[in-house]
């Protein structure tokens, strides 16, 4: 099966139509809803609304990249430019937009996976980036998009030497990131549901109970 991945710099993505951002908001929320519904810890969707898409994901121009794996590239609504054909039958594309971005759309039924990378400097490493908006809607698609985009991301941001994920332990994702993606846990923190703001979460983030967050890392 061909895997088509589109590279979307944030400075480009913010120029897309509100309808396209609505599409992406729905997609990311659907991806995160799997754990929200199954475990009943988190109350709110990952993104509060399409108007807060970029702020809720902490995606800023010229610092972040968003990748989306598409089933059928002819259903994007506009032209693409081939960037690279990599192993495992995967092709990377960029948006080719001589006439602007208004025609591009991301219907849910055409999406296989998403992932984004954003800066996450901390005391131990000022060059660390965080993996976010990581969603999979097809078998093995999450692993495929992650393994297929790391090298491309590194080309854009060569100073990055470490990737970080922060996962809710009770969502049973620690083993997935360790066994399937090669991350190693280095810290675990108990988060109290009545002190979420103090723990650095956004005001819209609510939970039904206390939970643990595992910080995991991978050198690149």
Tens-digit pLDDT profile for residues 104-160: 999 999 999 999 999 998 878 999 999 999 999 999 999 999 999 999 999 999 999
**Among candidate residues 114, 117, 94, 116, the one with its CA nearest the CA of residue 106:** 114
Rounded Cα–Cα distance for residues 40 and 134 (Å): 20
Paired strand residues for 130? 118, 164
Contact 211, 168 (CB under 8 A): yes
Tens-digit pLDDT profile for residues 150-192: 999 999 999 999 999 999 999 999 999 999 999 999 999 999 9
**Among candidate residues 156, 154, 173, the one with its CA nearest the CA of residue 165:** 173
Provide mean pLDDT across the span 51-74.
96
């Amino acid at each position: 099966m061909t895997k088509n991945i589109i590279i979307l710099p944030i400075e480009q993505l913010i120029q897309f139509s509100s309808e396209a951002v609505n599409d992406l908001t729905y997609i990311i929320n659907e991806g995160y809803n799997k754990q929200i519904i199954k475990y009943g810890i988190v109350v709110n969707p990952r993104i509060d609304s399409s108007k807060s898409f970029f702020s809720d994901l902490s995606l800023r121009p010229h610092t972040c990249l968003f990748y989306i794996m598409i089933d059928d590239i002819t259903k994007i609504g506009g032209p693409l430019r081939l960037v690279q054909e990599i192993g495992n039958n995967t092709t990377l594309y960029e948006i080719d937009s001589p006439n602007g971005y208004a025609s591009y759309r991301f219907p849910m039924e055409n999406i296989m996976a998403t992932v984004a990378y954003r800066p996450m400097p901390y005391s131990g490493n000022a060059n660390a980036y965080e993996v976010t908006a990581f969603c999979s809607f097809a078998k093995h698609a999450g692993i495929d998009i992650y393994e297929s985009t790391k090298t491309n991301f590194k080309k854009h941001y060569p100073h990055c030497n470490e990737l970080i994920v922060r996962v809710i332990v009770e969502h049973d994702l620690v083993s997935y990131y360790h066994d399937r993606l090669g991350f190693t846990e280095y810290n675990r923190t108990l988060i109290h549901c009545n002190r979420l703001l103090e723990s650095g979460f956004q005001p819209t983030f609510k939970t039904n109970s206390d939970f643990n967050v595992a910080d995991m890392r991978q050198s690149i």
